[in-house]
Amino acid sequence: MKTYRFGVLGAGNMGMAIAEGAVRAGLMTRDQVLLFNRSEDKRAANRARGYAVTGDYTEVYTACATVLLAVKPQNFDEILPVLGACACEEKPLVVSIAAGVTFAKIEQALGADTPVIRVMPNTPLMLGEGATELVKNAAATDAQLAELCALFDTMGVTVVFDREDLLNEVIPYAGSAPAYIYAFADAMVKSAYQHGIASEDALKLFCQTMIGSAKMLLEGGKTPEELIRAVCSPGGTTIEAMRVLEARGLADMLAQANDKCIARAYELGK
């Protein structure tokens, strides 16, 4: 029997957000979670908050029932062979949030009998408003997938895929999309400032508009195209703005950006 229910290998912002979410939802207590971080100061801070901590990441793999790999994709070549050499009577469920790192790569190091679930969360998860996609390998059970979905459901919404490649294909629309939205917000706030509107007022108004618009999309019963038409009164102000966006090729620009994002995800998996 494992000493800890959950372990985080790479207790940075996202890893900690997931651990905190699990504790906050009452799915486990802090002393049932083992955190690895190279920084002694961070380990001390997490210990003071009631978490178990370690400076040896192999302990996370050997002592935890579920192991969250929350390090950057570039670090997997370093850590996977070391974990693969660890002696485990019972292999943990491995949960990877690394973009592009495939089941094949993980299984090559840890063994095809290792249950693995790949998860693609986005940063709003840290506020409990995430959008997370999951897919399991052949060794992981439906029960393990359901339990992990229940965890991420406490931090937003989840979608389960039955094909691993869809985790790459979906990245622009959830994982990377917050950056798109922040860039759009930044441009809108700067434009408003040029027209004499205080940045804090513009940001408040625009953020609330995003919240309301998202609710209209989710709950209004209309397609995006129908909602656009509802705002664009003939001869009005919005239709003039939309003509500029269409003339400048907004849809084509986003399609190109998304294609680049997806291509990079596949590159990371090689």
Among residues of the chain, what percentage have pLDDT more than 70? 100
DSSP letter, residue 92: P
Domain segments of the chain as ranges: 4-163, 177-268
The string of pLDDT tens digits covering residues 20-38 is 989 988 899 999 999 999 8
The string of pLDDT tens digits covering residues 132-174 is 999 999 999 999 999 999 999 999 999 999 999 999 999 999 9
| 3-state DSSP assignment of residue 210 | helix
**Assigned superfamily of 4-163:** NAD(P)-binding Rossmann-like Domain (3.40.50.720)
Instruction: Report whether pLDDT(270) > 80.
Output: no
In this prediction, residues 108-121 reach a mean pLDDT of: 96
- Which pLDDT does position 267 carry in this prediction? 87
Q: Please tell me the distance from the alpha carbon of residue 100 to that of residue 268, in angstroms, as a whole number.
A: 5
Instruction: Report whether pLDDT(2) > 80.
Output: yes
The string of pLDDT tens digits covering residues 169-198 is 999 999 999 999 999 999 999 999 999 999
Instruction: Report whether pLDDT(68) > 90.
Output: yes
Q: CA–CA distance from 219 to each of 69, 75, 109, 147, 215 (Å)? A: 35, 41, 45, 28, 6
Sign for the pseudo-dihedral over CA of 35, 88, 22, 48: negative
Q: Please tell me the distance from the alpha carbon of residue 28 to that of residue 6, in angstroms, as a whole number.
A: 8
Instruction: Report whether pLDDT(268) > 90.
Output: no
Which strand ranges, in their side-by-side order, compose the sheet holding 64-69?
52-54, 33-36, 4-9, 64-69, 93-96, 116-120, 130-136, 156-160
Q: Which CATH architecture has domain 177-268?
A: Orthogonal Bundle (1.10)
Q: Please tell me the distance from the alpha carbon of residue 8 to that of residue 22, in angstroms, as a whole number.
A: 12
Q: Please tell me the distance from the alpha carbon of residue 209 to that of residue 193, in angstroms, as a whole number.
A: 17
Helix (H) or strand (E) holding 34: strand 33-36
Residue 11 one-letter amino acid: A
Chain mean pLDDT for the chain = 94
Q: By the 8 A CB rule, do 35 and 46 touch? A: yes
- Which pLDDT does position 157 carry in this prediction? 96
Write the burial class of residue 198 (CB in 10 Å: 0-12 exposed, 13-18 middle, 19+ buried).
exposed
Q: By the 8 A CB rule, do 141 and 65 touch? A: no
The string of pLDDT tens digits covering residues 211-225 is 999 999 999 999 999
